[in-house]
Each structure stands twice: as structure tokens, then as C-alpha cells.
């Protein structure tokens, strides 16, 4: 595990649900930093909310992690007016670090974080709320294509966490599946049957992603991404 750098929790963020979408769709993407310890349980951080519990939050998406170093890349890639939105927390993350990215974090990695133990369950599938967040109609698609998506944890052991806590890798059950590789086969080569068979059998991966791989194998088709990536049309 020497290829995984030591890292610390730079920021801890939680958010409240509010009307956000063009038709008042709720979101809690606006996460605010906290300086004091918070309890992290199976459904996430105390005080954190999710506007769409069908697609966000829950035991398999209890914590959203986004790499702080990605912000510099986005500053270069985005138009000036959108880059101005690139403040910490812009991607709705709960936790932020330097040194951990999709290239060196694997599906199933188990980390000790403060008094809690968490396990990487899946990468993030970006949705249209990022389009509104950044004022770009294709921002969710840009995030998807970039591979700088962030990822989620399930909580194996509840406990208190606080800014400054160490992120310590304690187990790596799936060393062949860095998140970058998973994202490649999810979005770039989405019908590679050998990869899909391996993904469907990956016990550390979230059940919804294993099911997605199984459906692609059965149908030999890729599910539509438009409902997730395209901002809803305002209702009249």
C-alpha cells in the first residue's frame, strides 16, 4: 500500500436541503464547512441532508469524497465565469483531501478516518445539478468525461470525525480496480464484456453498480444517461 500517500481530512462539510432545480427540485449540494467533530454513522454525517434520497445518500453513498487537487484542473478547463464558482465544496463533497484521487484509490479500499472506518463503495455518477451549480449546460457531462468524479463510502464502523483526522488505508481487497479503471469501463468502453463480467462479480462494489453491469451484459446495450446529465426543462 506504499503507493497510497498519507493524507488528512482537510475539510468536513454538510448541507441542508433547499429548492434548487428549475422546477423546485430539492438539493443539498451546497455543503458548508464545519470545524468541530461530527458523528459519522451508516447513513452519513449528522446534520447532512440529501435532496434526492433515491439517487443520493443512503448506506452505499454515506460520504462523498472529492479530491482537492482537481480544483486546479477545473480552473484551467472551465470558462472564466464558471471557474469563479470553484470554491471548496463546489462539487457537493462531504470530505476533501490532497493526495487521494481516482487513480490511486480502489473500489473496496478501507480507510480509518478519525473514530470511523469507511469503505469505498463506488465512484460518483455526476448529475444535472452540477450544470446549475456551474452555470454550464454540459458541466455534468464534462465531469463524467474527465474522470474527476469523486467517490462514495459506506460506513463499516461509526465514529466521530473532524478536520485534521488522518485518512489511513488499512485494507485493499481489490487492487486491480482503481476507480479510474472502473470509470473507464463505465463511461468509455461501456460494453467490454470481460470487464462487465468482472465488475458484476466485484463484491466490494455497490449493489447498484454490480446490477448495472449485469444489465449491460444481458441486454448488450448501455443505459441512457440523458435523464441524469440533462437539466430538466422548466414546467409551465
What single string gives the DSSP state of each residue in 175-229?
TT-BHHHHHIIIIISTT-HHHHHHHHT-TTS-HHHHHHHHHHHHHSSPPP-HHHH
Question: Are 130 and 91 in contact, with CB atoms under 8 Å apart?
Answer: yes
CA atoms within 13 A on the CB side of 185: 22
Domain boundaries, the chain: 7-174
Cα distances (angstroms) measured from residue 193 to each of 31, 51, 120, 145, 178? 38, 35, 24, 21, 18
Residue 52, pLDDT > 80, answer: no
Q: Would you state the pLDDT for residue 1?
A: 52
Q: Would you state the pLDDT for residue 93?
A: 97
Instruction: Dig out the grid coordinates for 15 from the structure.
Output: 448541507
- pLDDT (tens digit per residue) in 80-106: 888 888 988 999 999 999 999 999 999
Q: Would you state the pLDDT for residue 6?
A: 76
Residue 232, pLDDT > 80, answer: yes
Q: Would you state the pLDDT for residue 55?
A: 63
Tell me the pLDDT band of 153, cut-offs 50, 70 and 90: very high
Question: Are 152 and 121 in contact, with CB atoms under 8 Å apart?
Answer: yes
Instruction: Dig out the grid coordinates for 46 from the structure.
Output: 449528522
0.85 cut: is pTM over it? yes
Q: Would you state the pLDDT for residue 72?
A: 94
Q: Would you state the pLDDT for residue 3?
A: 67
Tell me the pLDDT band of 37, cut-offs 50, 70 and 90: very high
Residue 211, pLDDT > 90, answer: yes
Residue 169, pLDDT > 60, answer: yes
Question: Are 10 and 98 in contact, with CB atoms under 8 Å apart?
Answer: yes
Residues linked to residue 161 through DSSP beta bridges, in sequence order: 38
Q: Would you state the pLDDT for residue 192?
A: 98
Please compute the mean of the pLDDT values over residues 194-220 and round it to a whole number. Answer: 98
Q: Would you state the pLDDT for residue 213?
A: 98
Which residue's C-alpha cell is 487513480? 103
What CA–CA distance (Å, rounded) separates 188 from 207? 21
Supply the mean pLDDT for the chain. Answer: 94
Domain 7-174 sits in CATH at 2.40.33.20
Question: Are 154 and 122 in contact, with CB atoms under 8 Å apart?
Answer: no
Calculate what percentage of the chain has a pLDDT beyond 70: 97
Please compute the mean of the pLDDT values over residues 202-209 and round it to a whole number. Answer: 98
Residue 182, pLDDT > 90, answer: yes
Residue 64, pLDDT > 80, answer: yes
Distance, C-alpha 133 to centroid of its chain: 16
Amino acid at each position: 500500500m506504499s503507493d497510497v500517500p498519507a493524507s488528512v481530512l482537510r475539510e468536513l462539510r454538510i448541507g441542508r436541503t433547499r429548492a434548487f432545480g428549475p422546477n423546485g427540485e430539492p438539493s443539498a449540494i451546497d455543503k458548508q464547512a464545519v470545524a468541530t467533530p461530527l458523528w459519522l454513522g451508516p447513513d452519513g454525517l449528522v446534520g447532512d441532508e440529501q435532496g434526492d434520497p433515491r439517487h443520493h445518500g443512503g448506506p452505499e453513498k454515506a460520504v462523498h469524497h472529492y479530491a482537492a487537487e482537481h480544483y486546479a484542473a477545473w480552473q484551467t478547463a472551465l470558462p472564466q465565469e464558471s471557474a469563479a464558482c470553484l470554491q471548496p465544496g463546489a462539487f457537493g463533497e462531504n470530505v476533501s483531501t490532497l493526495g487521494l484521487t481516482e487513480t490511486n484509490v480502489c473500489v473496496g479500499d478501507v480507510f480509518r478516518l478519525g473514530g470511523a472506518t469507511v469503505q469505498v463503495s463506488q465512484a460518483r455518477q455526476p448529475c444535472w445539478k452540477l450544470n446549475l451549480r456551474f452555470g454550464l449546460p454540459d458541466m455534468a457531462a464534462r465531469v463524467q468525461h474527465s474522470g474527476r468524479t469523486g467517490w462514495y463510502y459506506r460506513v463499516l464502523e461509526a465514529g466521530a470525525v473532524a478536520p485534521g483526522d488522518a485518512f489511513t488505508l488499512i485494507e485493499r481487497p481489490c487492487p486491480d480496480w482503481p476507480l479510474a479503471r472502473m470509470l473507464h469501463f463505465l463511461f468509455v468502453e461501456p460494453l467490454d464484456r470481460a470487464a462487465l463480467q468482472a465488475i458484476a462479480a466485484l463484491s466490494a462494489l455497490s449493489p447498484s453498480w454490480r446490477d448495472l453491469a449485469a444489465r449491460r451484459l444481458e441486454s448488450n446495450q448501455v443505459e441512457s444517461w440523458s435523464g441524469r446529465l440533462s437539466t430538466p426543462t422548466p414546467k409551465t
